[in-house]
Amino acid sequence: MKQIQVLGSGCANCQRTYQLIEEVARREGVEVDIEKVEDMADILAMGVMSTPGVVVDGKVVHSGGLPGQKQVVEWLTS
């Protein structure tokens, strides 16, 4: 199971990123545990300056802007 954190204040892009990861995981048959992290101190502590940010299994893989579906598939299947 992949542990995923979506970092952001709850903005539209952050919500869409969360939904995109859920949709791709379901389509690809990958079990995920997705957590929203909205506390700015926690987000900054992870080194993310632009949101939405995405952390997969403890590693920051994305920061700023919406990720593409292809990108999300790579995160979930690698």
Q: Mind listing the pLDDT tens digit for each residue in 5-48?
A: 999 998 999 999 999 999 999 999 999 999 999 999 999 999 99
Tell me: the pLDDT tens digits for 49-72?
A: 999 999 999 999 999 999 999 999
What architecture is domain 2-77? 3-Layer(aba) Sandwich (3.40)
Rounded CA-CA distance 77/42 in Å is 26
pLDDT of residue 12: 94
pLDDT of residue 10: 87
* pTM of the complete model: 0.94
pLDDT band at 78 (very low <50, low <70, confident <90, very high): confident
